Amino acid sequence: MPHAFRQYQDAPDHVFDLYAVNHARQTFEFVGEKRAEYAPLSKRVMSVWQAMEFLNSFVDESDPDSDLPQIQHLLQTAERIRKAGHPDWFVVTGLIHDLGKILHLFGEPQWAVVGDTFPVGCAFHESVVMHGLFDGNPDLQDPRYNTRYGVYRPNCGLDLVRMSWGHDEYLYQVVREYLPEEALAIVRYHSFYSAHQHGAYDYLMNKSDHALFKYVRSFQPFDLYSKADALIDVEAVRPFYEDLLARFFPDELAW
C-alpha cells in the first residue's frame, strides 16, 4: 500500500503534544505580540544561503513523515519544482519556503514555529487539524473572538487576518519586497491546510485570495513527498541555486 502522508490519527506523542500546546496558546493577543516583536527584522543580517545553512540543525517535530535535514527538504522541493518545468519564481519559492523555521533558533518553541496554521480572532474551523485540542484556548471563551467572523468582516481578505504565528508569516515579512504575489501567497499560507486542502475559511477570503490559492495548492505536492527522494549533493547544486537566488534577492537580507 502506498504510504499516506499527514496521517495524524496515529500521530506519535511528540506531534500530539506539539499541537496540544499550539492550539491552547495561539491566541489573537499572542500573535499580535509576536508580529510586533519580529516586525523590525532586527535579529540578524545574512544571505539566503547562510539562512539555509543556519537552519540545517533544525528537525521539525510537527512533521510525522520526515526527519531529513532541512536543507535537503528545501533543495528537494526546489529540484522537484524545477524538474516539473515551472518558472524560476516557483523554484526559488520552493528553495526558501521553510526558512522561517529559523525562528526556533532565535529561541521560539516549536509550537510557535511549525505545524498547520489557522486564523486567530475568530472561531476555529472544525477542519483544522486536531480541532479538539482548542479546548484549552482562552479565545474560545472570549465573545470578541469566538464567533464565525470574530474581529473580521465577511470576505475581508486574508491580508487583514491574523494567522497563528509560525514560520510562514515570519518568512513572508522577511521576503515580501522581493517576490511576486503568487510566491508570497505560497510562503505565507503553505501551512494553512484547512483552507487549501479543505476549503475552510472561504468566508474570510476575497477574490484575490481565491486566485492566489490556486498556486498555494499547486505547491503542496512538491512540499510533501520528500522522504523517498535521494539525498542531494549540496555543494554540487549550490552554484546553480546561488545564481537563482541572486536574481531575486540582495546579497544580504534583514531577518
Site residues (vs Fe ion, CB under 5 A):
98, 223
* Minimum CB distance to Fe ion, residue 192 (Å): 11
Quote the least distance from Cβ 191 to Fe ion, whole Å.
Answer: 5
Cα–Cα distance list, 165 to 9, 101, 117, 193, 220 (Å): 24, 11, 7, 15, 20
Q: Which is nearer to Fe ion, 108 or 223 (CB)?
A: 223
CA distance 19 to 24: 8
Q: In the complex with Fe ion, which residue's Cβ is closer, 98 or 182?
A: 98
Query: Closest distance between Fe ion and the C-beta of residue 74, in Å?
Result: 8
Write down the residue that cell numbers 500530539 correspond to. Answer: 16
Give residue for cell 549533493.
Answer: 233
Kindly report the number of other CB atoms within 10 A of residue 32's CB atom.
Answer: 14
- Measured from the CB atom, is 31 or 96 closer to Fe ion? 96
Q: How far is the CB of 171 from Fe ion (least distance, A)?
A: 9
| C-beta closer to Fe ion: residue 113 or 253 | 113
Least gap, CB of 90 to Fe ion (angstroms): 14
φ and ψ at residue 253, rounded to 5 degrees: -120, 155
The answer to whether the beta carbons of residues 124 and 175 sit under 8 Å apart is: no
Distance between CA atoms of 189 and 100, rounded to whole angstroms?
A: 12
Nearest to Fe ion of 98, 139 (CB atom): 98
